[in-house]
Amino acid sequence: MAKARVLVVDDEKSMRDLLSITLEKEGYDVLTAAGGEAAIEALRRDATDAVITDLRMPKVDGLQVLRAAKEISPDVAVIVITAVASTETAVEAMKLGAYDYITKPFKLDEVSLIVRNALERKRLRDENLYLRKQLETQHRFENIIGKSGRILEVFDTIRKISDSPSTAMITGESGTGKELVARAIHFNSLRRDKPFVSVNCGAIPEGLMESELFGHVRGAFTGAVSNKIGLFSAGEGGTLFLDEITEIPPLLQVKLLRAIQTREIRRVGDTKDMKTDVRLIAASNRNLEDAVKDGILREDLYYRLNVIPIQLPPLRERREDIPLLVAHFLQKFGKDLGKEARGVAPEAMIVLERYHWPGNIRELENVLERAIVLGAGDVLGIESLPETLRRERPVKGMEAVDLPEDGLDLEATLDTIERGYLQRALDRTGGVQTKAAELLKMTFRQFRYKLQKHSLVRKGSGGDV
């Protein structure tokens, strides 16, 4: 990273020297000016991150330097130095946008600290601006944020299928954005002016599901006092999003399959079929192949729905999206809550990027909302993050990384290490897989997958090792 550049302005040579030596020691690139005019010239010529200027100087004074600096580059941090006697001017300087003021006599430590803070704040602001630019331009699709390869693939798929009526099947852990993607598909399709109807199949009592989906005619069953249109009809011409598809009982799955194939539905108690034109998007946070194997999802329906499979990766597998998502949510909550957060302190960002996010983006969203509500000041610090996140320790074992003279087979080595940890975790938990998965900060599914990969369990066996 380039060194930050600080301009020191003072008509007294001894003061200039003192300050520039101090700041150079701190690792900055220091320029000096012996007066206001020279300072303004320097500001025009060189990109500067911070200015530290004496207030009282002959001819062009510190306030004028401040004004010029803010005009030439509004983001530059200006710190003014003032004698105790003239604190009024210092207040005026603050009003004009100075970052802070220092009263003489001062300690050099104090100067270093103020400059460091000023530059840090500027850096965060620049970074935040940069992220916002990225958000505005490329790295979003509707409201979906991301720049990782896996998310860009999802954007691509959404674009490609926008004009087709095919069914899509979205899978991914909880909070990965399945509903968001379903909406993006709809609002990018030719159906965008027609309804988007979202149904959580897990929330409808089994006995009512058929009538909810397809509607019923009056007298179809006790309580059916009038005709009722179903969700299919409510979504006519648009998109029907069936969330938690595996919650539909198998008998009804047959009817759903038939509706997709014939493009006709029959209301409960009706004798005739009705034409229907809806695009179906189904979603689930389960592994659907397993659901088929377990007899929860009919195989024929699975294949019918899975025409366009979209798999949303968990957040921990696309950590490069975290800073963008953070900037997005800061902006969103900043607006909603009327609290503008400029950025995130570097230690806090490290924690956010490192955490394993079992609740994925929803969890990140909640953490940031809470941090903004609780946080003081305009930079989100580590103290406003929940204890659970801060507690998660960094990946251990870097000390063991030692590359032999003649190199090594990385894949094979990693494989051995992985197998070793799996075995250790199983030993420690007496073979209880859910506990072992927890120890290794994995979902049970990931853990099972890895066990099978390392032949630590027979395929298909549900029992513990």
Nearer to ligand ATP, 239 or 285 (CB): 285
Binding residue for ligand ATP, selected from 82, 285, 384, 433, defined by CB under 6 A: 285
Nearest position to ligand ATP, beta carbon: 177
Pairwise CA distance, residues 320 & 282, whole Å: 28
At its nearest, how many Å lie between ligand ATP and the CB of residue 141?
9
Among ligand ATP, Mg ion, none, what does residue 194 contact (CB within 5–8 Å per kind)? none
- DSSP tally for the chain: helices H, then strands E: 19, 18
Region of 8-16, 57-65, 177-185, 269-277 interacting with Mg ion (CB under 5 A) = 177-185
At its nearest, how many Å lie between ligand ATP and the CB of residue 183?
8
Cis peptide before 404 (omega within 30 of 0): no
Instruction: Check residue 356 and report its DSSP letter.
Output: -
Q: What is the chain's alpha carbon radius of gyration, rounded to the nearest angstrom?
A: 31
Q: To which H or E segment does residue 135 belong?
A: helix 108-136
SS3 for 273-305 is CEECCCEEEEEECCCHHHHHHCCCCCHHHHHHH
Nearer to ligand ATP, 20 or 239 (CB): 239
How many residues in the shown chain lie near Mg ion by CB under 5 A?
1
Binding residue for Mg ion, selected from 11, 92, 179, 270, defined by CB under 5 A: 179
For residues 361 and 315, the answer to whether their CB atoms sit within 8 Å is yes
145 contacts ligand ATP (rule: CB under 6 A): yes
Q: Restricting to residues 316-375, which ones interact with ligand ATP according to CB under 6 A?
A: 325, 328, 361-362, 365
Region of 105-113, 178-186, 364-372, 435-443 interacting with Mg ion (CB under 5 A) = 178-186
Beta bridge partners of 282: 169, 242
Strand ranges (E), 302-416: 308-311, 343-344, 379-380
Region of 120-128, 174-182, 201-209, 294-302 interacting with Mg ion (CB under 5 A) = 174-182
129 contacts ligand ATP (rule: CB under 6 A): no
Among ligand ATP, Mg ion, none, what does residue 36 contact (CB within 5–8 Å per kind)? none
Among ligand ATP, Mg ion, none, what does residue 365 contact (CB within 5–8 Å per kind)? ligand ATP
Pairwise CA distance, residues 432 & 423, whole Å: 11
Q: To which H or E segment does residue 83 belong?
A: strand 77-83
At its nearest, how many Å lie between ligand ATP and the CB of residue 171?
9
92 contacts Mg ion (rule: CB under 5 A): no
Among ligand ATP, Mg ion, none, what does residue 146 contact (CB within 5–8 Å per kind)? ligand ATP
At its nearest, how many Å lie between Mg ion and the CB of residue 124?
33
End-to-end CA distance of the chain: 50
Beta bridge partners of 8: 32, 52
Region of 140-148, 213-221, 225-233, 292-300 interacting with ligand ATP (CB under 6 A) = 140-148
At its nearest, how many Å lie between Mg ion and the CB of residue 179?
4
Give CA separation, 30 vs 2, 53, 68, 69, 200, in Å.
Answer: 13, 13, 19, 16, 61
Q: Restricting to residues 161-190, which ones interact with ligand ATP according to CB under 6 A?
A: 172, 174-180
What tokens appear for 98 in the block?
A: 């100075």
Give CA separation, 107 vs 57, 91, 112, 114, 170, in Å.
Answer: 21, 20, 9, 11, 61
In the complex, the residues that contact ligand ATP under the rule CB under 6 A are 143-146, 172, 174-180, 285, 325, 328, 361-362, 365
In the complex, the residues that contact Mg ion under the rule CB under 5 A are 179
